[in-house]
């Protein structure tokens, strides 16, 4: 039976904390970064072992943290509710940091740039999400809001909720985005009906629906590019 090694058995240069102090954060592998978050392991596996197991999922990298729910994470040895929530919080922080850095300068110029901004958030989502992005009269990005989860169809999407957010942001223009978990971004009949319904409501309120972008697996469909908006 092979000898089990704890963190203290590892050479100093291989311990995540010591390695950070010696060489900086960029020297750490994905597993080592996760091990620092996990802090401790079990009698059978150290935190680095557990981190490597988490990374062995479908993506074989840190994207697994987006796909795994906190209940999924609790199935790993040594991860209880608190550690699972901490890991999900780290994943969400990384997503928000990425959006904050780019979002401040985001311009409503082309469907491609908007789709690229939301691609990583939406292409990995397990359920349908409908997001509305808001812009001022100079096409500057003001923020966004998730307005529907789970079933983006004609019955459940509320234009009133979308327009309430638009007024809160003092927006003039808006762009709808939602994902198709199947990976195929082509619009359904419901997608077309929803878009026409919101477009008409926006016109009445002197708002402009600039586009509706559907995100698939690394590809998108733009109503604007396909001339499906007036």
How far apart are the C-alpha atoms of 155 and 130, rounded to whole Å? 13
pLDDT of residue 2: 47
Domain C-terminal end among 99, 118, 139: 99
**How confident is the model over 150-200, as pLDDT tens digits?**
766 654 678 888 999 999 999 999 999 999 999 999 999 989 999 999 999
Same-domain status, 63 and 158: no
In a domain, 45, yes or no: yes
Query: Does the pLDDT value for residue 226 go beyond 80?
Result: yes
Residue 174 lies in a domain: yes
Q: How far apart are CA 189 and CA 155, in angstroms?
A: 12
Q: What is the CATH classification number for the domain harbouring 148?
A: 3.40.140.10
pLDDT, tens digit, 9 for 90 and up, residues 186-208: 999 989 999 999 999 999 999 99
User: Does 15 share its domain with 81?
Assistant: yes
pLDDT for the residue 84 = 94
pLDDT at res. 220 = 96
- Does residue 64 carry a pLDDT above 80? yes
Choosing from 99, 121, 146, the residue where a domain stops is 99
Alpha carbon distance 76, 19 (integer Å): 25
Residues spanned by the domain of 40: 7-99
Question: What total number of domains does the chain contain?
Answer: 2
Name, in order, each residue with C-beta under 8 angstroms of 172's C-beta and a sequence gap of 6 or more.
135, 136, 137, 207, 208
């Amino acid at each position: 039976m092979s000898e089990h090694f704890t963190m203290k058995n590892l050479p100093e240069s291989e311990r995540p904390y010591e390695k950070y102090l010696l060489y900086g954060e960029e020297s750490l592998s994905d597993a080592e970064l996760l091990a620092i978050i996990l802090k401790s392991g079990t009698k059978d596996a150290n935190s680095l072992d557990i981190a490597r197991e988490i990374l062995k999922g479908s993506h074989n990298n840190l994207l697994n943290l987006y796909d795994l729910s906190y209940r999924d994470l609790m199935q790993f040895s040594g991860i209880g509710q608190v550690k699972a929530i901490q890991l999900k919080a780290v994943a969400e922080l990384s997503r928000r940091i990425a959006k904050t850095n780019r979002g401040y300068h985001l311009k409503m110029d082309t469907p491609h740039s908007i789709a690229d901004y939301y691609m990583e958030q939406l292409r990995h989502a397990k359920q349908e999400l409908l997001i509305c992005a808001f812009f001022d009269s100079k096409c500057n990005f003001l923020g966004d809001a998730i307005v529907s989860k789970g079933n983006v169809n004609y019955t459940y999407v509320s234009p009133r909720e979308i327009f309430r957010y638009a007024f809160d942001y003092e927006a003039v223009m808006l762009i709808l985005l939602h994902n198709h978990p199947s990976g195929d971004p082509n619009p359904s009949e419901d997608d077309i009906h929803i878009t026409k319904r919101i477009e008409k409501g926006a016109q009445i309120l002197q708002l402009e629906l600039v586009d509706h972008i559907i995100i698939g697996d690394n590809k998108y469909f733009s109503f604007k590019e396909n001339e499906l908006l007036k």
